[in-house]
Amino acid sequence: MHILIVALHRPSKPTGVCRHAANLAQCLADTKEIAKVTLIVGAWQRHYFETFFDSEKINLIDLDIKNSALVRNMWFLFGLPKLANRFLPDLVYMSFPFPFLRSLFVSPVVSTIHDLYPYEHPEVFGYPNAIFNRLFLKQCIKNSDGLTCVSKSTLDSLKSYFPNLHLRKPVTVIYNYVNLLQLNTHSLKHLPIHELDSFLLSVAQHRKNKNLDLAIRAFSWSIKNKYLKDTTKLVIVGSNGPETEKLHQLINQLSLEEQVLLLDSIEDSELCWLYQNCEIFIAPSLQEGFCIPLAEALHFSCKIVCSDIPIFREIGSSSCTYFDLQGDPVRNLCQAIIYALEKPLKQASKELRFSKSDVAACYLTFFAAIARNSQLRVGFFQRVKARFDKLGIKSRTRSTSKVKSYNQ
């Protein structure tokens, strides 16, 4: 089976969407059922992706186009179908809800829904971007042959905004694959931190829903009230975003320039080291569709403190210490940190939901079903057309897709 994965995305540095696409490409390529994975990225993303893979099955294609919203969206609408029809994969996989025209594709298209932010938290994007993102999400959902959601929480949100969607097309939940398992974790060459330093860790892009300002305020309160040593640091790993300037202003306001480190570009091996050596991993988000860093922190047996939201309960279960976002969230987070520091360390999670084999099996099963459904539709329209032709009636049915068979 040949899968074409579309991972063209604005950021030049790895984000959750990039990591999701890269992990899935490697996950699928490691199975015997997949003969080839074609991965489409932007030229500005190539460095991350080309150092990620070790499989000859993966064909990385970087597009030399202007990295602007208009150019990217025009390419999704018209350039992508041309490219996909040239390769004729068994299935096209959208790693993010990109705008596209289904009628231009020969192969069936499956899209992943990470969250419903354009509906639930439009302020994350600002206006008018929120309006366009909502239109793109709605159009992608409508045109996809099937949809995967990264969590049950995301599926619940999807059903609340599109109540009868599951009756019209296949929709399923497949968790993200966590892939930080075989990396060398001894390199600190580029990290502004010493091996003996005590530090708290948070991994998130600088967006409003990530609630990083709360982590900084709680850290400051804990230092001032002697719950943490003066030498303790707060390390925040994540690419710059709409909240970056506000975070810098808050750090300066609280005089934490030497203690709060904002790292926007580190190697995966360095990230692994941070997971393995942090005192506490903090996830203070207001809303998430999934949270790859939380799943990674679980794998590395971090002591975890996170906000009490449905998706974190779904991922973390009893392995995390939760704090309430209502009332006094700063004090609530501080108390949770103190409690977590006193808890005994747990062993690494062996959750099958996030394992390579389980995730690969789920995707292969879903992709095979979509491919078969597409073939059945093609066969149906071909039979109808043949019947019309036999009766001498000119049919006006739309052109249908020819999809390669899936051999398990």
pLDDT of residue 399: 34
Taking only the tens place, the pLDDT of each residue in 25-81 is 999 999 999 999 999 999 998 888 887 777 889 999 999 999 998 999 999 999 999
- Please, how many CA atoms are within 13 Å of residue 13, restricted to the half-sphere of its CB? 14
Distance CA 282, CA 293 (A): 10
Check whether 381 has a pLDDT greater than 50: no
Confidence of residue 382 (pLDDT cuts 50, 70, 90): very low
CA-wise closest residue to 233 among 243, 215, 219: 219
**Contact between residue 360 and residue 30 where contact means Cβ atoms under 8 Å apart:** yes
The most confident of the ranges 263-277, 334-348, 359-373 is 359-373
pLDDT at 396 over 60: no
How much is the average pLDDT of 341-345?
82
Task: Give the tokens for residue 146.
Answer: 């099937």
Instruction: Read off the pLDDT of each residue in 280-307 and give the average, rounded to a whole number.
Output: 93
- Nearest CA to 97 out of 80, 84, 111, 118 is that of 111
Q: How confident is the model at residue 17 (pLDDT cuts 50, 70, 90)?
A: confident
Q: Could you give the 3-state DSSP secondary structure of residue 185?
A: coil
User: Is pLDDT above 90 for 133?
Assistant: no
Tell me if the bond preceding 293 is cis, omega within 30° of 0: no
Express as a percent the part of the chain with pLDDT over 70: 86
pTM of the model: 0.80
The count of other CB atoms within 10 Å of the CB of residue 313 is 14
Q: How far apart are CA 147 and CA 366, in angstroms?
A: 9
What confidence tier does 349 reach under pLDDT thresholds 50, 70, 90?
A: low
Give the chain's mean pLDDT: 86
**9 pLDDT tier (thresholds 50, 70, 90):** confident
pLDDT at 331 over 50: yes
The pLDDT of 357-383, averaged and rounded, is: 78
Between 76-90, 186-200, 316-330, the lowest mean confidence (pLDDT) is in 186-200
pLDDT for 193 beyond 90: no
CA distance 181 to 169: 35
pLDDT tens digits, residue range 236-250? Answer: 999 888 899 999 999
Locate 58 and state its tokens. 């993966």
pLDDT in the model for residue 355: 79
* Domains in the chain: ranges and CATH: 2-173 (3.40.50.2000), 199-353 (3.40.50.2000)
What average pLDDT does range 157-162 have in this prediction?
Answer: 93
Task: Pick the closest to residue 203 from 283, 287, 138 (CA basis).
Answer: 283
- Whether the pLDDT of residue 401 is over 50: the answer is no
- The mean per-residue pLDDT over the stretch 386-395 comes to 51
- Give the confidence band of 363 by pLDDT, cuts at 50, 70, 90: very high
Q: Is the pLDDT of residue 144 over 60?
A: yes
Lowest mean pLDDT among 36-45, 130-139, 187-196, 297-306: 187-196
Q: Is the pLDDT of residue 379 over 60?
A: no
pLDDT above 60 (res 405): no
Q: List Cα–Cα distances, 263 to 39, 185, 303, in angstroms.
A: 27, 17, 21
